[in-house]
């Protein structure tokens, strides 16, 4: 593995500290060996990069994606041949990596085979933690059946249905057996499911306690698809690691999240992607458009209040609802909700690594950590919106290997 020396860049280390001007970084054997100081001449086989006038950051995280889908027409996608759907995944992985995202949590639809292929280098993409599928009540956000319809359509590709403590215990064990690194549960209804309400809570506190106890016994963290206040609070009290979306946060929910150290993954891009698809003439059901319009303003306000109160926020996009490969647009959405540009960067680096249990190895640009790096000509403090353009991401390094380099064209 060749040595990489990046000289003279402005370095954002992902901790929230002020950037380091005209700083050199040395990568050896896949790890960061030096940040700053005098760097000796490079060895003959080293890759030397002039970072003057450019900005170096840790590889970004996206803690909420769905590589098995792209666009809000979920029913149409589920009718495609499985082999065709699988063959579309490598392009989405590649696009996400090219966007500067080197680590993701896939929270439903992607199985262990994709994770194995990425780990072994069969496909290029971010390293993956997977949930395999989301656990849902009958009639909940992950129930893809159509009662009283001529369509007999049931699938566990995205969601798995269970009811009662014994059944949810088995469901947690089954999804872990299938390879889940994180257990995802829909504790409320959602937007892209036709017969439930985002404000309504799903699963009883007793069912949620059973899930948390079993997942914790097996060393798994838990993510709650949670949009309504009661379902959010039920998940936080039960011990979930993160709240995904958090559309209708109330003051009590925010206080509970601070007290328990629960992360918020806002996915502000998701409802915007639904509306963009609708306005572009894509087949978005009328009920999904109506629900999206209802949640947009509340969503932004909830994230803003959670941030002001001190809730820990990690970057997640729900990519798959919208197109893959524009993940860092979420940084600008978070700034619109009140985060500073530096806080948004930290949400996508250190905070996200902490949420995923990877902070010892990733998430900050510090000596000894795995070398995931992003180089751009964009100053994130003055033009964070431009980081959402993959063409502005000039260089991506993952585990000390250059996986994207368009500097000559940049």
pLDDT tier for residue 160 given thresholds of 50, 70 and 90 = confident
Q: Which 8-state DSSP code applies to residue 253?
A: H
pLDDT for res 2: 82
Query: Measured between alpha carbons, how far is 307 from 288 in angstroms, rounded to an integer?
Result: 27
Residue 338 lies in a domain: no
Residue 294 lies in a domain: yes
- For the residues 157-180, what does the mean pLDDT come to? 93
Q: How many residues in total does the chain contain?
A: 410
pLDDT tens per residue across span 220-254: 999 999 999 999 999 999 999 999 999 999 999 99
Q: Do 257 and 173 fall within a single domain?
A: yes
Question: Is the pLDDT higher at 124 or at 142?
Answer: 124
pLDDT for res 348: 98
Give the pTM: 0.94
Q: What CATH number did the domain enclosing 54 receive? A: 2.30.40.10
Q: Which residue has the tokens 């009590």?
A: 252
pLDDT tens per residue across span 36-90: 998 888 888 999 999 999 999 999 999 999 999 998 777 777 778 888 889 999 9
Q: Do 177 and 50 fall within a single domain?
A: no
- For the residues 93-122, what does the mean pLDDT come to? 97
pLDDT for res 262: 98
User: Where does a domain end: 307, 327, 347?
Assistant: 327
- For the residues 190-197, what does the mean pLDDT come to? 86
Tally of domains in the chain: 2
Q: Do 21 and 97 fall within a single domain?
A: no
| Domain around 114 | 60-327
Query: Measured between alpha carbons, how far is 194 from 86 in angstroms, rounded to an integer?
Result: 25
Count of CB atoms situated within 10 Å of the CB of 28: 17
Q: Do 369 and 400 fall within a single domain?
A: yes
Name the CA radius of gyration of the chain, rounded.
21
Among candidate residues 101, 47, 53, 94, the one with its CA nearest the CA of residue 376? 53
pLDDT for res 142: 77
Tokens at residue 86, please?
Answer: 């699988």
Residue 112 lies in a domain: yes
Could you tell me the strand order of the sheet in which 101-106 lies?
Answer: 60-65, 101-106, 127-130
Q: Do 130 and 152 fall within a single domain?
A: yes
User: Where does a domain end: 327, 346, 380?
Assistant: 327
User: Where does a domain end: 298, 327, 356?
Assistant: 327
Cα–chain center distance at 111 = 16
* Average pLDDT of the residues of the chain: 94
Q: Do 40 and 111 fall within a single domain?
A: no
Residue ranges of alpha helices (H) inside 243-364 are 251-260, 269-279, 286-309, 329-336, 341-347, 350-355
Q: Do 269 and 196 fall within a single domain?
A: yes
Among candidate residues 295, 352, 292, 307, the one with its CA nearest the CA of residue 103? 352
Q: What CATH number did the domain enclosing 225 receive? A: 3.20.20.140
Among candidate residues 161, 356, 333, the one with its CA nearest the CA of residue 242? 356
170-177: which pairs have CB atoms within 8 A and are 24 or more residues apart? 171/135, 171/211, 172/135, 172/210, 172/211, 172/214, 172/215, 173/214, 175/131, 175/132, 175/133, 175/135, 176/215, 176/218, 176/220
Query: Measured between alpha carbons, how far is 65 from 20 in angstroms, rounded to an integer?
Result: 31
Residue 199 lies in a domain: yes
Query: Measured between alpha carbons, how far is 239 from 173 in angstroms, rounded to an integer?
Result: 18
pLDDT tens per residue across span 73-87: 777 777 788 888 899
Query: Measured between alpha carbons, how far is 394 from 410 in angstroms, rounded to an integer?
Result: 6
356-364: which pairs have CB atoms within 8 A and are 24 or more residues apart? 356/61, 356/63, 356/103, 356/105, 356/129, 356/182, 356/221, 357/221, 358/103, 362/58, 362/59, 362/61, 362/102, 362/103, 363/14, 363/58, 363/61, 364/13, 364/14, 364/15, 364/58
Residue 349 lies in a domain: no
pLDDT tier for residue 410 given thresholds of 50, 70 and 90 = very low
pLDDT for res 193: 83
pLDDT for res 153: 55
Count of CB atoms situated within 10 Å of the CB of 269: 27
What is the phi/psi pair of residue 275, to 5°? -70, -40
**Is the pLDDT reported for residue 113 higher than 70?**
yes
Q: Do 26 and 120 fall within a single domain?
A: no
HSE, side-chain direction, 13 A CA sphere, residue 179: 15
């Amino acid at each position: 593995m060749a040595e990489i020396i990046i000289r003279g860049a402005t370095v954002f280390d992902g901790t929230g500290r002020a950037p380091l001007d005209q700083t050199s970084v040395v990568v050896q054997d896949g790890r960061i060996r030096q940040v700053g100081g005098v760097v000796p001449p490079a060895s003959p086989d080293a890759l030397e990069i002039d970072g003057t006038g450019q900005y170096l950051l840790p590889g970004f995280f996206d803690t909420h994606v769905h590589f098995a889908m792209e666009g809000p027409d979920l029913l149409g996608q589920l009718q495609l041949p499985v082999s065709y759907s699988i063959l579309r995944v490598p392009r989405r992985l590649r696009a996400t990596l090219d966007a500067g995202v080197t680590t993701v949590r896939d929270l439903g639809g992607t199985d262990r085979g994709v994770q194995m292929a990425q780990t072994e280098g069969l496909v290029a993409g971010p390293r993956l933690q997977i949930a395999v599928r989301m656990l849902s009540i009958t009639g909940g956000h992950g129930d893809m059946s159509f009662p009283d319809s001529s369509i007999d359509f049931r699938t566990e590709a995205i969601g798995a249905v269970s009811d009662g403590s014994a059944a949810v215990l088995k469901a947690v064990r089954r999804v872990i057996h299938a390879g889940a690194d994180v257990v995802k549960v829909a504790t409320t209804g959602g937007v892209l499911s036709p017969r439930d309400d985002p404000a309504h809570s799903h699963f009883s506190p007793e069912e949620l306690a059973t899930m948390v106890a079993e997942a914790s016994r097996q060393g798994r963290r838990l993510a709650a698809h949670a949009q309504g206040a009661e379902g959010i609070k039920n998940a936080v009290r039960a011990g979930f690691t993160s709240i995904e979306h958090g559309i209708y946060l109330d003051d009590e929910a925010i206080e509970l999240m601070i007290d328990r150290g629960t992360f918020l993954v806002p996915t502000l891009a998701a409802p915007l992607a639904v509306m963009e698809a609708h306005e572009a003439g894509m087949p978005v059901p009328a009920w999904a458009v109506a629900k999206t319009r209802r949640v947009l303003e509340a969503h932004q306000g909830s994230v803003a209040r959670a941030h002001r109160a001190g809730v820990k926020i990690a970057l997640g996009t729900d990519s798959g609802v919208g197109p893959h490969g524009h993940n860092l647009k979420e940084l600008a959405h978070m700034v619109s909700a009140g985060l500073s540009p530096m806080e948004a960067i930290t949400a996508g680096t250190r905070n996200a690594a902490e949420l995923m249990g990877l902070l010892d190895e990733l998430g900050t640009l510090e000596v000894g950590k795995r070398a995931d790096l992003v180089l751009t000509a964009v100053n994130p403090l003055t033009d964070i919106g431009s980081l959402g353009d993959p063409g502005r991401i000039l260089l991506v390094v993952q585990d000390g290997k250059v996986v994207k380099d368009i500097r000559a064209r940049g």
